[in-house]
Amino acid sequence: MHESIDALSRGGGLAAWRQIADALEGEIATGDLAPGAQLPTEAALAARFSVNRHTVRRALATLAERGLIRASQGRGTFVEAAPLAYPIGRRTRFSEIVTGAGREPWGDLITHREIAAPPECAAMLAVPEGAPLLELLTVHRADGVPLSTARTWLPLPRFAGFAPAYERSGSITRALAACGVPDYTRASTRIRARLADPAEAARLDLTPGRVVIVVSSVNVDGEGVPVQANRAVFAADRVEVVVGT
């Protein structure tokens, strides 16, 4: 590998570390440094820009802060994969989003059972507290990589046949259609963030203590009747939630 020597404008009021950060950000933006690619070592970058390694580290720190790169002790520094853009709107469909990104969607049904509606779910679904609900625990993948794990609640007895239909099709949309709900729209969405608990980390194939985005939503049928409440937990570094346009 042949590394060029890039000259920085010194003493021109623009800090050397900022010029280095901008140069590297440009190479990432143009795809010269593709997602997943390893950056030159800090020592190599220091030589290329003719600066101390500390100066390079400061530049890398600003890029890492913004999630463009990730440093791994003993291994190197790598360009982060661009997170999957997950648009949230009135007609959000997981399968359409993943398919639109050129990847293969699938939802695995982990467990399902009947429960009495706890207060929070009862309010979201507009049913009495303690009413029978079907609770499903699912994991959603794109090209096999888990993006989210979700708990879904549906009122019983209306959706008694939902679980087997979901297991067959791997799709909320198709399973709802099998229960006589040809169309649904998203009524409300709340977005929070916290650390993954061990169970979520295992389901998402994350190291414990990583950040997750929690999206709680309610879907309603054509008559505005709530058919499904949902709490999806996304791996924060694999997904970016996009609102509106």
Partner DNA sequence: AGTAATTTGTGCGTATGTATA
Partner DNA sequence: GTATACATACGCACAAATTAC
- Applying CB under 7 A, the residues found at the interface with DNA are 10-11, 13, 15-18, 39, 41-43, 50-55, 57-58, 60, 71-77
91 binds, among a second copy, DNA, none (CB under 5 to 8 A by kind): none
The least distance separating DNA from the CB of residue 118, rounded to whole angstroms, comes to 14
The least distance separating a second copy from the CB of residue 169, rounded to whole angstroms, comes to 27
Q: How far is it, in rounded angstroms, from Cα 146 to Cα 102?
A: 16
Residue 108 or 237 with smaller CB distance to a second copy:
237
Q: 133 is written with which tokens?
A: 């609900």
- Count of CA atoms in the C-beta half-sphere (13 A) of 104: 3
Residue 70 or 158 with smaller CB distance to a second copy:
70
Residue 43 or 123 with smaller CB distance to a second copy:
123
Residues that bind a second copy (CB under 8 A): 14, 18, 21-22, 25-26, 29, 65-67, 83, 85, 88-90, 115-116, 118-120, 123, 129, 186-195, 197, 211-213, 236-237, 240-245
Residue 144 or 244 with smaller CB distance to a second copy:
244
The least distance separating DNA from the CB of residue 121, rounded to whole angstroms, comes to 17
The least distance separating a second copy from the CB of residue 234, rounded to whole angstroms, comes to 9
Q: How far is it, in rounded angstroms, from Cα 142 to Cα 97?
A: 10
Q: 234 is written with which tokens?
A: 């996304």
Residue 7 or 223 with smaller CB distance to DNA:
7
The least distance separating DNA from the CB of residue 60, rounded to whole angstroms, comes to 7
Residue 17 gets the label, from left (phi > 0), alpha (psi -120 to 50) or beta, of: alpha
Cis peptide before 198 (omega within 30 of 0): no
213 binds, among DNA, a second copy, none (CB under 5 to 8 A by kind): a second copy
The least distance separating DNA from the CB of residue 55, rounded to whole angstroms, comes to 4
Residue 93 or 112 with smaller CB distance to DNA:
112
Give CA 27 to chain center in angstroms. 25
